[in-house]
Amino acid sequence: MGMAIATAALERGARVTLVKGTTSVEPPEGADVVEAETAAAMREAVLAALPGCDALIMAAAVADFRPLAVADTKIARADGLDLHLEPTDDILAEAAAQARQAGEAPTGRPVIVGFAAETGSLERVPEKARRKGVDLLVANDVAEAGSGFGTDTNRVTIVVPGAAPEPWPRLSKSEVAHRLLDRVVTLRAGTGASLTP
């Protein structure tokens, strides 16, 4: 979805900074691309790009956990393995908190949009949107055929804190991107429901 959103924004004349993790999808021509191979690098790049932007749309599926320790050498099978993980930083929540400190919504700070790649029920998504402090959360069941990764279509549910979830039909990713940007423009103009600053 990130590449489709970047493409749609460029088609509308926006200046786009694309913080890109590892992907086989080529970034659109015209975007300022920042490579980020780890969650830590992505956090650094996102927070550096945040000041002065009109909207932050975070579509990347960033790992929730990382190894607590990394071996310097190969671990022999005979040695066995206990894998201990620690949570990665919540980039979206941190960026939303930093943006809220910049000013009042909607014009004094960027509109913050996050994505939630879920499997199964989307019941917990409204609470996730509130907890992360976003203006809008785009949720989708990535286990559903034709939705999420590795397909040109997506079926999403739009969640604005304090409003009823809004399921969209399956659309091309380009159509989802343009409809989402329409919502961002509405939020930015202050004519749509959004989270309190």
Could you tell me if 96 and 132 are in contact, meaning their C-beta atoms sit under 8 angstroms apart?
yes
pLDDT band at 194 (very low <50, low <70, confident <90, very high): very low
168-to-18, 56, 59, 140, 185 alpha-carbon distances in Å: 25, 21, 17, 10, 18
Q: Does residue 85 sit in helix, strand or coil?
A: strand
Q: So where are the chain's domains?
A: 2-66+84-189
CATH number for the domain running over 2-66+84-189: 3.40.50.10300
Kindly report, residue by residue over 115-170, the tens digit of the pLDDT.
Answer: 988 777 778 888 888 999 999 999 987 777 777 777 888 899 999 988 889 999 99
Q: What number of helices (H) and strands (E) belong to the chain?
A: 5, 11
pLDDT at 61: 75
- Phi–psi pair at 3, nearest 5 degrees: -70, -40
pLDDT at 197: 36
Mean per-residue pLDDT over the chain, rounded: 86
Q: Which of 112, 183, 176 is nearest to 147 (CA)?
A: 176
- Phi–psi pair at 183, nearest 5 degrees: -65, -40
